[in-house]
Every structure is written in C-alpha cells, then in structure tokens.
Amino acid sequence: MSTDPINDEKEIQDIVHELSLDIEKDREFAKRLKRILLVSALIVIGAFSFGVFTYLVYLNFSVSKLETEVKEKDKSLRELEQSLFSLMYQEQLRDELVLSLDVDSDTSLQKQVDENVEFLKEVSQSHKGKNILRGNENFKEIALTFDLATGEELPTLYNYVKDYDIHVTIFLSNERPSDVSGSFFHRQNLDYIKRLAKTDQVEFANHTWSHFNYQRSVMESSLKKRTVLEYLSKSVLDLPHMAEELKKVEDMFYSLTKQELKKYYRLPYGALSQLILDAHASLGYDEHIMWSRNSKGSLDLPDYIHKQFLYKKSANGKKEVVKNPHYKTSEETLAFLDAWERIDPNGMNGSIILMHLGGPRKFDKLIHILPEFITRMKAKGYKFVTVSQILNGKAD
C-alpha cells in the first residue's frame, strides 16, 4: 500500500476524473437518447398525422367520387326506366304528336292532377315499391311471362305448358276499360284460365282491369286527350281507382278458380314512375315485374308489332315505304334471343321475358317460336319457372 500522500491524492484525482468522464459520457448518452426518442416521437406523430391527413383527403375524395357515381347512376336509372317503356308506349307518344298541335291543358284538370300527385306522395311516403327487371342470376332459370291481351292464344300456351313441362306466369287484365266487354268476357278465355290454374304449373298475377297507361293517366292535363285516347282514364287516376283496378282482377280470378292472385303486378305498357310504384306498395303490391334488358335490347318481344312496313318522309318531303325497324319475324326473334344470351355475362340466368297472348299480329305469330326456343334452352340446362320461383333465391 502506497504511503506517499502526493501519489495517493493523484490517484484519487485520477479516479474522480475518470468518474467525472464516465458521468459526463452517461449524461451525453442520456441527452442523445432523449433527442433520439424525441425525434422518433416527432417522426411517429408526424407520420401518423400525415397518414390521418392523407386518409381524410382520400375519404373526402372517395365520398365526392361516390356522390358523383351515385348521381350518374341515378341519371342512368332514370334513363333506363324511360328506355324500358314498351314499344307500344313509344308508339302512343308518337301518335299523340298529331294531337299536341291543337290541345291545351285544362286549368281545372291540371289542378286535379297536381292535388292527386301531392296526395300520392303523402300517402306513399313510408312505402317503397320495387321495379323488378331480373331474377336471381346465379341459377339457370328463365321466367316466361305473358300479358293476357286478347287471350286468343291461351289454348296454344296451354298445350305448350303440358307438352314441354314448363312453368309460366300470366298477368291478367280485361284489356279494355269496360265492365261489359273485354278479355274477361270471352268464354274461351275463362275456360282456359281455369284449365291453366289447375295445372299447378301456371302462376297468375295482376295486369290491372282496364289496361290504362298509368303514367299518363296520372299526369295528363288535357281533357281532349283523356276523351279521345282509349288508353287514358277519363278522370285523374287516383289511389282509390288504382285499388279498384287491382281488386277487380283479383275478384274475377277468384270467382273463376277459387285461388288467390299472386301479389305481383305489371302495369300496361311499362308506363310507371317511382311515385306510382310507391302508391301500389301502399296497396300491398310491393313488386312490379318488368322485363329484362341488356346491351342487345329488351326481352319485351315485339309480338304486338304487326306492321312490317311504314310510311316515312324522304329528304325531298315525299312519302316512301320503309321496313318497320321494330318488326321481327320468328326467325329474327330466335336469332335475337340467342344473341341476347350470348352477349350477357350471365347468359339468360334470371331473365324475365314478356310476351302477349293475342293482339293485332295475325301472321307469323311469335308464340310459335316457343317450342324451338324452349328446346334450345333446356338443352343448355335452363329451366322455365314462374316469377315467384325466379325471385326466391334458390334453384327450383
């Protein structure tokens, strides 16, 4: 052990110095660590804040984009709704151009129209009617649907149902606005409706009693048009009248068959609006059955278009005869149906086809394509089902 006080003091100073250096190093390390932690925290907070900001900007952009898409889809839906009106409805509008030149709105009638529209809005505000254009696209099912029309082809359909083992849906209407004449007053029609009801292969739904154009019958303010045009109700079509139109068909069907009509309906000419759909929903008819459509066209088959040729004004103002673009032969209709299935991403899965059981077409009737069409589709694995079956969410 050293006895030199100077050396001992020097050693102690060296130790103290080393300890001071170690303490200083620890302090510097602590400071650096604090700086690192602070910078890291700031970086994390900054990154988080930037992330939140970026996400909020993205959300705002996405919401704006969605709002734009919703507006565009809503516009497309309105345009599609208009395009789905049948060719008969479009022909009605063209025919009325002649009347429009000398027809004015009636002030009193316009007031009734406005009051009725307001009432329909009020009474249906808690109801939302649906317009069904297609069934379940997951299954190879086709709904063949028929509007009764004159009913003259009911016997033909009866044979097809029995011979080809298919299920179909018929929408019943008296076809004309009368209580003493029309489709429900032909003995053959009544007989075959009863026969078809007994097969358990046919579903019956509502096509209204008088076969009015509902959209026009609600909105038309020209007294002359209501008087002249047979497809318009003579008075403003209000909710009690709509209810009566449905009830008459229900009662007639029950008196014939002792069966209840399905709560599906199809308005004549496909002439509807969301207001009219909602009004019917308030009456217990929630689902309006339209027909399917894709880029190839509408499955409202033109079996009621009977004029093969039309007059058209040429460039020099003279009349010339041209082919009716809406007229399809049986062969053309079969080719159209094949193309419709081929072009659609889902084929004919869930498709709803509209045909008519009689009309002005007397030659090359399209109902006679059904044996070939049914055979073709069955060979591809399709089944022919009712509207109820095509909407029930399962394979039938």
What is the SS3 assignment for the chain?
CCCCHHHHHHHHHHHHHHHHHHHHHHHHHHHHHHHHHHHHHHHHHHHHHHHHHHHHHHHHHHHHHHHHHHHHHHHHHHHHHHHHCCHHHHHHHHHHHHHHCCCCCCHHHHHHHHHHHHHHHHHCCCCCCEEECCCCCCCCEEEEEEECCCCCCHHHHHHHHHHHCCCEEEEECCCCCCCCCCHHHCHHHHHHHHHHHCCCCEEEEECCCCCCCHHHHHHCCCHHHHHHCCCCCCCCCCHHHHHHHHHHHHHHHHHHHCCCCCCEECCHHHCCCHHHHHHHHCCCCCEEECCCEECCEECECCCCCCCCEEEEECCCCCEEEEECCCCCCHHHHHHHHHHHHHHCCCCCCCEEEEEECCCCCCCCCHHHHHHHHHHHHHHCCCEEECHHHHCCCCCC
> What is the average pLDDT across 11-25?
64
pLDDT for the residue numbered 80: 47
- pLDDT for 75 beyond 60: no
**Identity of the highest mean pLDDT range in 29-33, 64-68, 183-187, 206-210:** 206-210
pLDDT digits (tens, 9 = 90+) for 221-269: 998 899 889 999 999 999 999 999 999 999 999 999 999 999 999 999 9
pLDDT for the residue numbered 82: 46
pLDDT for the residue numbered 30: 72
The Cα 84–Cα 78 span in angstroms is 10
Q: Alpha-carbon Rg of the chain, whole angstroms?
A: 36
Joined tokens for residue 7: 């050396």
The Cα 209–Cα 183 span in angstroms is 10
> pLDDT category, 68, cuts 50, 70, 90?
low
The Cα 270–Cα 288 span in angstroms is 10
> What is the average pLDDT across 83-108?
71
pLDDT for the residue numbered 73: 54
**Identity of the highest mean pLDDT range in 172-176, 224-228, 269-273, 377-381:** 377-381
> What is the average pLDDT across 138-156?
96
Report whether 202 contacts 196 (CB < 8 A): yes
pLDDT for the residue numbered 322: 87
- pLDDT for 78 beyond 60: no
> pLDDT category, 52, cuts 50, 70, 90?
confident
CB-based burial of residue 191 (10 Å sphere; 0-12 exposed, 13-18 middle, 19+ buried)? middle
The Cα 12–Cα 1 span in angstroms is 14
- pLDDT for 342 beyond 80: yes
- pLDDT for 378 beyond 80: yes
19 or 210: which carries more pLDDT confidence? 210
* Proportion of the chain above pLDDT 70, given as a percent: 84
- pLDDT for 1 beyond 60: no
Report whether 258 contacts 250 (CB < 8 A): no
pLDDT for the residue numbered 76: 47
pLDDT for the residue numbered 90: 75
The residue whose two tokens read 């029930």 is: 392
pLDDT digits (tens, 9 = 90+) for 174-221: 986 556 678 988 999 999 999 999 999 999 999 999 999 999 999 999
Report whether 320 contacts 311 (CB < 8 A): yes
Residue 85: CA count within 13 A, CB half-sphere: 17
Joined tokens for residue 23: 């303490």
Q: How would you label 48-69 residue by residue, b for 16+ Cβ within 10 Å and e otherwise? A: eeeeeeeeeeeeeeeeeeeeee
Q: Which residue, among 279, 45, 267, 52, has the nearest Cα to 171 in the 3D structure?
A: 267
Largest CA distance in the chain: 142
Range with the poorest average pLDDT among 43-57, 115-129, 131-145, 150-164: 43-57
Joined tokens for residue 308: 């093969």
> What is the average pLDDT across 145-158?
96
The Cα 343–Cα 14 span in angstroms is 94
From residue 328, how far is each of 301, 308, 378 by CA, in Å?
Answer: 9, 8, 23
- pLDDT for 89 beyond 80: no
Residue 199 CB: number of other CB atoms within 10 A?
A: 12
- pLDDT for 49 beyond 90: no
pLDDT for the residue numbered 346: 97
**Identity of the highest mean pLDDT range in 44-48, 84-88, 203-207, 322-326:** 203-207
- Residue 264's DSSP bridge partners are 287
pLDDT for the residue numbered 193: 98
> pLDDT category, 103, cuts 50, 70, 90?
low
